[in-house]
Amino acid sequence: MTEQEKKQAALDLIKEANKEIMDEVKSMKEENATLKAEVDALKAAPVKNAEVLKGSGIIVGKPSLYKGMNFKVQGTEAPELMPANEKERDEVVKELIDVFAPYSKNPLIRKAAMQEGTAGEGLEYVPEQWFSTVIEKARLTSVALRDARRFPMAGNILHIPVQGTSVSMTYAAEENASTESEPGSADLDITAGRFGLWGKISQELLDDSMIDLVSYITRDAVEELGQTVDDECFNGTSAPFTALIGAGSTDVTFGSSNTATSYTDMVSRNFFDAIYSLASIRTSGAKWYLNRTLMPYIMDLKFGASDSALMSVNPQMIAGFPFELVEVITGTDATSSDFMSFGNMQHYALGVRSMSQAIEVNPYSGDEFKKYQVLFRFYVRMAGAPIFADHFINLKTA
């Protein structure tokens, strides 16, 4: 190829590239013109006339609201429409909520059998004057969820391998074989059970509530779940759980002679009896678990005949070990009842199969739909049991 032919070939390539660029520019102009026409059409198309504010004796016209233009541009800026009277302003706020609530993306969630017309069932969540803040009670956390050893469950049943019989060592003289010994094996099987709650709420409460019920109801459900788990782990009221209270292989009875029928007759020796009922290696990480009603009696205990209080060295410990107050463990004095447990909760298996990631809502269910009610529910599938029952000691009355 001559030098002239090379130059001509390069020029042809440049012309072809330039043609492609011009075609792309033309296409972009056409697309831009189409988009501009669509935007102009949106701006020129009014939304259907709507009465923005309609009550409280305030007469407001029916302005045409245009898409893409704010209230101020259209002469309907909200502050100019708000009355000076506080009571009338409150009514206007409620009217605005009625108008715009159907378009809100906030997934409001409702509490059981709730309605705005009844105190305790939703009335407090509806704005009255300017006050719309929910004052929540202080909630308790779950001791079991914090201290127990949690196992994810891939299925309905969880098999946890545990230590069986130990190996044994024997003396053997020179040139003699030792005795054969293999460790035994065992497992702990726990089966998940479902715990849940459900309820329904009126559409009126959904429309009129000014608070975010999502976090409020979810937190309420989760905290109730925590207390349910504590109740099941310590008291074992349902089949999927084996109780920690009552599960110990050894019990220590209150009283100087271990015959007291009331926990009010407890003595400091009872706590040391419990501690030394466990092998030393099993007391590592151990805690006392009890109801707060026993604490005044424990705080009043002395070391034998001395004047040193049982908790004087560290008020956060009982006989040298930390304690946890568990509200669901009974504090009602009675005979033949366990009131405290001592041990390391890492020796308690808490299996979690599944749970709701959030409150589940169904606004389209049969009879509730006709009554303008929305259903909600929350659930969890769990199970629990002591891995080794004899790793815990209970204190009880005779």
Is the pLDDT at 79 greater than 90? The verdict is: no
Higher per-residue pLDDT: 34 or 216: 34
* Domain spans in the chain, listed from the N-terminal domain onward: 114-165+186-398
What's the pLDDT tens digit per position in 9-24? 777 878 887 788 888 8
pLDDT value of position 140: 55
What's the pLDDT tens digit per position in 288-318? 999 999 999 999 888 766 666 777 768 889 9
> Is residue 181 within 8 Å of 85, Cβ to Cβ?
no
Length of the chain equals: 398
Higher per-residue pLDDT: 393 or 5: 393
Is the pLDDT at 195 greater than 50? The verdict is: yes
Q: Mean pLDDT, the chain, as a whole number?
A: 75
Is the pLDDT at 124 greater than 60? The verdict is: no
Q: Residue 83: which pLDDT band, with cuts at 50, 70 and 90?
A: low
Give the residue-averaged pLDDT of 335-349: 92
Give the residue-averaged pLDDT of 172-194: 87
> Is residue 287 within 8 Å of 317, Cβ to Cβ?
no
Amino acid at position 393, single letter: I
Higher per-residue pLDDT: 28 or 171: 171
Sign of the torsion formed by the C-alpha atoms of 86, 88, 92 and 93: positive
- What pTM did the predictor assign? 0.61
Percent of the chain with pLDDT over 90: 22
Is the pLDDT at 397 greater than 70? The verdict is: yes
- Work out the end-to-end distance of the chain between its first and last CA atoms, rounded to an integer number of angstroms: 113
Domain 114-165+186-398 has CATH 3.30.2400.10: yes
Give the residue-averaged pLDDT of 102-127: 48
Within a 13 Å sphere around the CA of 112, how many CA atoms are in the beta-carbon half? 8
Higher per-residue pLDDT: 71 or 148: 148
What's the pLDDT tens digit per position in 129-166? 323 333 233 345 688 888 999 888 888 999 888 777 78
- 268 phi and psi angles, rounded to 5 deg: -60, -30
Q: Residue 325: which pLDDT band, with cuts at 50, 70 and 90?
A: very high
Is the pLDDT at 345 greater than 70? The verdict is: yes
